[in-house]
Structure 1
Amino acid sequence: MGLKMCGRHCLHHKSCTAVNYDTVSLLCELLVETSTDTNSTIQDFRNSAIHTWSLTDDSCYPNPCSGKERCVRTKKEDYYCLTISTPCDDVICQNGGTCKNRPSTFTCLCVDGYNGTFCQATPCDDVICQNGGTCKNGPSTFTCECVEGYIGTLCEVHAKVRLVDGSHSLEGRVEIYVDETWGTICDDAFGEEEARVICGMIGYSKNGSISYSSGYFGKGNGDILLDELNCIGTETNILDCQSSGLYHHDCEHKEDAGVACQVYVKVRLVDGSHSLEGRVEIYVDGTWGTICDDAFGEEEARVICGMIGYSKNGSIPYSSAYFGQGHGSIALDGLNCIGTETNILACQSNGLYNHDCEHKEDAGVACQATSCGDVICQNGGTCKNGPSTAICQCGEGYIGTLCEVYVKVRLVDGSHSLEGRVEIYVDGTWGTICDDAFGEEEARVICGMIGYSKMGKIPKTITYEVRRSIPYSSAYFGQGHGSIALDELNCIGTETNILACQSNGLYHHDCEHKEDAGVACQEN
């Protein structure tokens, strides 16, 4: 206990008129003057002690003091807890805040996302994000998360980007829409980083973006909106980059900037009688979609077949959902290809997802693989020339015309390893097979893939009847989980991979897991 604390307790005692404090023993005495005090400086008075105590560490044990008390020793050698008052005694910091005492006041230390004297406020309390934006609290400030096309601290600026006058939808002069008008960008300091941001805004890949200068795609009209752009390349909106500011420039339209973007796209043929034909589906923006047959002809079919790895020669286009109607998005319409393009998105079109079609207009193709010169087998596959076509001989676990698909099979929840619910591993995940049309031929293929005999005896150690490969339906071995990978299988029985059989295509089904197929095999 210090001298100030000793004096404080004197002030709170109505009879106390003075104190004694020993800085060595930390002894504090509260004194009062009486009429019989012979040592008093006032005639006829002297001091006598009301209370005497000194600070101790643990003398109050086994009844220790709380954090707001101190253990003191009285003049009679008794010990008790003396309450110590602090500014935080009467303060409640909100939302997880912690009160800290200061010399004559307090401070609430707030957790991230709160502020104010008592941590009662958030940065978003006084913010209204515009145009559908959502306010998100940060550690010490706020962020307005804007809907597509808007930018700015409060989502107050509407900005769009388009590419104009290119030979296809992936390239062109850059034009941005701000303040309800379209304008161009000056090529001063416009490079790869700026091109990456533009391509990302449109929805294309940022990788491989190419910048063009000097009005390469022709001169624009109207305002020049941006100049001296300086982007990092990770921005999601071109207006997030440093620049001279909107409409501040020293350029002419002969300096309009342009870009060429790249798009990650895959192509597959679905629901054909073999892997060289089917409905065209493309994978872009993380989803599969179809192509409308409007203007879809031989040139477009050549590009599709070339992308898959087949010969472009002899490619045949099909219209009117010849291979059945697809599902989900219609990705492209109004395609106009030369036939030499290596990417279907490099052809002119109405743009991604801009169409006036229905799935009854889904396009298809039939491709040719006339020799190994037209084929690149994947995943270690070896190409062999046949009488009229080229064939990829795939390594174990791979299938497909180009050995592009990895597939495994297992039997689950049977009473032994030779039987169970059929599950196949495709595209990095396990799935079941629907029992529609699943019979002995399909069971033979499954058993052959696992390595068991398609015909033979069960080991004598297993007390089950001798039998051939036997199919089971109606989730005989229990219902599976996750995807249903195949439905309406139609095998000959000699196939070496279940995906070589005809079916509705991967993940196309009208089943539930109560229809999961199973098999019982025989050991070699």
Structure 2
Amino acid sequence: MLEYDGALSAPGNATFGQGSGNYSWDSVDCVGTEDHLLDCPKVMGAKGCTQAENAGAICYSEAPFRVRLVGGTSVTEGRVEVMYDGSWGTICDDAWGLKDATVVCRMLGFEGALAAPGNASFGRGSGNVLLDGVTCDGSEDNLAECSHNGVGVHDCDHGEDAGVSCFSGDPFKVRLIGGPAVSEGRVEIFYDGSWETVCDNNWDFKEAKVVCRMLGFDGALAAPRAAAYGQGSGGILLDSLGCDGTEDKIADCYHRGVGVHNCEHANDAGVRLIGSVDDAEGRVEVLYDGSWGTICDSDWDIRDATVLCRMLDFDGAMEATHSARFGKGSGDSILEGVRCRGREDHLAECLHAGFGSNVCDHEKDAGVICYSNVRLVGGSSDAEGRVEIQHMGVWGTICHDQWDILDATDDPVTLKVGLKYSTWVYGELSATTNGTS
């Protein structure tokens, strides 16, 4: 109303002297966003008050506080101290949380906060306790914009000094463990040299979406709880995550602070993802009669997947997935009962039940995991060796169970290494070609 930026304190008891005349209002109760006191709830007349109870205000223009961190092991952490009126003072940890710490960290040029420790975790300060009951929503640019009890108004000692741990960049790496595929599993986060889990308190679809985005997936299909993918070991890093689902990383979400939790590993959180981490895997969709449709997983196997992968210019298929592992499609399910021999150049050359509409529901959408790049390793020439396949940037081997001359002859392998045919199989995983060994 007076065109200041905000208030630092709301003193009572006629701090600035007693007025005269009648009281107009009593029990004024604003939320702080109103443009005028007339917009706030209040009692008219104030017959129960005397002039000794006159209310006052201390206003400010421009940010009145500067902050610094003291006592930490690096510039990113420490006890919070606030410069006001020429002196440094501390903050009481009453109501102190991650949202308050986030404001402090941003004032210091960091992206956000990882923890908001209290109880003088970074040592006791000296001088005044400047602020108490600080309550921010996390979006403020300066602590002065947050609610508090008023400058110098507190019931604390320096054993309750508040601290912060800040970050810039992404302090976390994530991985999925214990699932049947790369697209699902228990969520584990790498921080400060070790992998730890996430507690499932407040864990839902929004938090899962952020994890999926960090892993390069399209989105989340489910957010399993209660250690659905097995119990982890080691520490529990995060609890009570509160994401809105649009964040790029978990560090941008609210949580109780790194290492602060009331969980055990029976509460480990997990995710099931939509889409794929790269272009080599995903739900299969077919363009037919001007529309994209899915394939039902009835009879869907590695031979069908091999044909599909070759249509997409991959060398072959590692897996034919079922039960909408890569998420449910939309539109029609247009093919069912696909039965390829594996040598076809196009799915249209394979047997199937005919093009239809909604031949099964999308819970049965078929998918594939394709591969490119095959090499022979360990042989005495380019014509022999252990077969290795590259998937998602990692080279892996093939188990010799059921491995025979037909597998060694398979086009994706022999053509990739520039050979025309195989003559026999020997050893563990090696193939001989062109009659040489």
Q: TM class by shorter-chain length?
A: 0.3 to 0.5
Please, what TM-score do these two structures have when normalized by structure 1?
0.34
- The structure with the largest alpha-carbon Rg is 1
